[in-house]
Structure 1
Amino acid sequence: MKDTKIMIIGTGGTIAGTGNGSSALTEYRAGSIGIDDLMQAVPALNEYGPFESVQFSNIDSSEMSPYRWVRLALLVNEVAERDDIGGIVITHGTDTMEETAYFLQLTVHTKKPVVMTGSMRPATALSADGPVNLLQAVQVARSESAIHQGVLVVMNGYIDSGREVAKLHTTDVATFGNAQLGHMGCIQNGKAYFYYTPCRKHTSDSEFILREEVELPQVGIVNLYGGMDTEILTMVASRSQGLIVGGFGHGTLPQAVRDTLKKITIPKVRSSRIGNGIVSSNSSDVKEGFIVSDSLSPVKARILLMLALQQERSREDLESLFALY
């Protein structure tokens, strides 16, 4: 792999952010620094070259959208097909990194390492975490152990799968992880160590193929709360082609919510607002037309449903897809 290039794709985020001083940790301008300048700020990267870079975007990741996901997936697939590219690193804001990672996990068709990274502190902050995260992402992308592991997220010395990873803290540099399975691996002294491999279909094994820019179906999310006005469900469903319902606990739905959802005929996925653990099927799901999200959080269930609806899959297919991916 050493004879090939690592492609570094910049999309913006806090890692490319600047503040008014070294103590500005939460007030800063995300997406202010170009990817080439980020790379130049980490001289240790030279040990892991050669590199090529491209500035896909330079945005706050709260501005990431399905439209941008599709374009990014097309770019990554195009780059991955090149014989001179051995791995790909994507710098990204942390707010939607878990969503982008799962989208790419489903739509990038390569066994080559695809690694996402970012930072919780802007580049101008004291003890900024971006430089070491970028370095370690490159180290993972250079590792043969990272081949066919799916899309990976590398932050704070740890490796997580694009399917399971979640942002767990608003400001902590150790924000990314997975409360259910633990980290997939870690980086120590420049070496990537993996503890387990993904067991769900991903990347080169995925059946979700994007060959051109497409407009993905609108899928809405409604997370329940005590005493919720169920008309919210009707309103969101009227503007959507699919609906994710984040229920209480094990995806529990109050009777008023169930009664409203029975009248909604678009595909409906029962998930949990908790975002950790499995939502399994029960006897009411088939009668009431629900698909269960398995261990996918509402935001990730939305991504899988969008891609499935793009292919006009049947309800039976949707059930199997949530078990496979």
Structure 2
Amino acid sequence: MAYTKKIVVIGTGGTIAGQSGSAEDLTAYQAGELTIDEVLAIVPGVENYGPFESKQLCNIDSSDMTMAIWMELARTVQAAVDREDVAAVVITHGTDTMEEGSYFLQLTVQTNKPIVMVGAMRPATAISADGPLNLLQAMQIARSPEAVGKGVLVTLNGTINCAREVVKQHTTGSDAFGNAFFGHIGFVQDGIARFYYESLRKHTAASEFAPLAADEMPTVALVYLYGGIDSNVLHAVLQTKPHGLVLAGLGHGILPGRIRQLVENLDIPVVRSSRTGSGMVSAMPNDSRHGFIVSDTLAPSKARILLTLGLTKTKDRAALQEYFYEY
């Protein structure tokens, strides 16, 4: 099929652009070495899904991603989807912070056009590098009429995932991305993107955080709780004066007594989430009394993104809680 409108391909680096001196190196490599044009050049058949327009936003290991870069990315994507000659946007991104970056775009870009984020678990120089096929399948998703209106999508290993739910579940496996609670929303097979579900939560065109307007973002801290945690750990975090706090609690977002006593009277919003990686954190009687917000089914990393954006609109805890039920 001949396409007339472009896919804008934005490169940010990551393993998909990584290189090593040995084809056997699967973890000892340098991320963000190849440009986006060099990455595209090693994808057989990608020309069948053009025309393309490429942009190199940055070329970094995604462990070095910052809110400032994601804000620049959101504005770059918004500018692309606002153009009449653009059908979709594909973004290459490192996998370590892909779950956060994709959700940030899900909330801050106003469009119904497909936005697909893709990465790789093996560098471009590795035996059986997964980047070329992942990127080709990202193009196939971007060209699918079924991808319209589904928000930001994440693809690796032939799976299609919603940005709200997707998490990295394995350190090195090519099938690292998914969600144990919700599963994949679709798959790519034989060049065809097939969808079975979609997110019913607000996103992209329906998001009140889009298009991104803020020039600066509030600081929100994320603390992982554990058995025997000393309150001094949290004291150290609070001394940095964050505007909000997300706690990756035990089980159902449970806070140890010494931690609960410390945070129940804070003058900043506190979100209870869970470190378990699956399931819902629902409200309990003490939450409303102490002003705690619950994360619903959002992973702690994503709860931090939503609280950050929520604080650009309001400090009211009831209103912030509604965001967690709506987005």
Shorter-chain TM-score: what band? Answer: over 0.9
Instruction: Describe the shift of the 1:211–1:291 C-alpha distance in structure 2 as closer, same or farther (beyond 3 A).
Output: closer
CA distance in 2: counterparts of 1:84 and 1:53, whole angstroms:
14
Partner of 1:63: 64
CA distance in 1: counterparts of 2:311 and 2:234, whole angstroms:
19
Deviation at 1:97, TM superposition (A): 0.4
- 8 Å contact from structure 1 (residues 237, 266) kept in 2: no
Structure 1 vs Structure 2 CA RMSD: 1.1
Partner of 1:306: 308
Partner of 2:231: 230
Partner of 1:111: 112
Partner of 1:142: 143
Partner of 2:206: 205
- 8 Å contact from structure 1 (residues 107, 203) kept in 2: yes
Deviation at 1:223, TM superposition (A): 1.1
Instruction: Describe the shift of the 1:212–1:293 C-alpha distance in structure 2 as closer, same or farther (beyond 3 A).
Output: closer
Deviations 1:171-218 (A, max 9, x none): 100100110011110001111100101110000000003555622111
CA distance in 2: counterparts of 1:76 and 1:23, whole angstroms:
35
Unaligned runs of 5+ in 2: none
The TM-score, its normalising length taken from structure 2, stands at 0.97
How do 1:239-278 residues align onto structure 2 when only pairs under 5 Å count? 239=240, 240-278=242-280
- 8 Å contact from structure 1 (residues 61, 92) kept in 2: yes
The TM-score, its normalising length taken from structure 1, stands at 0.98
> Which one is further off, 223-232 or 134-143?
223-232
Amino acid at match of 2:247: V
- 8 Å contact from structure 2 (residues 160, 188) kept in 1: yes
CA distance in 1: counterparts of 2:216 and 2:256, whole angstroms:
34
> Taking every aligned residue pair, what percent have the same amino acid on both sides?
52
Question: Could you say what secondary structure the match of 2:298 adopts?
Answer: coil
How do 1:7-156 residues align onto structure 2 when only pairs under 5 Å count? 7-156=8-157
Question: Could you say what secondary structure the match of 2:45 adopts?
Answer: helix
Amino acid at match of 1:181: F
Unaligned runs of 5+ in 1: none
- 8 Å contact from structure 1 (residues 115, 151) kept in 2: yes
Count of residue pairs brought into register by the alignment = 325
Question: Could you say what secondary structure the match of 1:73 adopts?
Answer: helix
> Which one is further off, 64-73 or 228-237?
228-237
> Which one is further off, 254-263 or 72-81?
254-263
Question: Could you say what secondary structure the match of 1:310 adopts?
Answer: coil
Question: Could you say what secondary structure the match of 2:8 adopts?
Answer: strand
> Which one is further off, 28-37 or 306-315?
306-315
- 8 Å contact from structure 2 (residues 26, 123) kept in 1: yes
Deviation at 1:288, TM superposition (A): 1.2
Partner of 1:215: 216
CA distance in 1: counterparts of 2:232 and 2:269, whole angstroms:
18
- 8 Å contact from structure 2 (residues 44, 132) kept in 1: no
Amino acid at match of 2:128: S
Partner of 1:159: 160
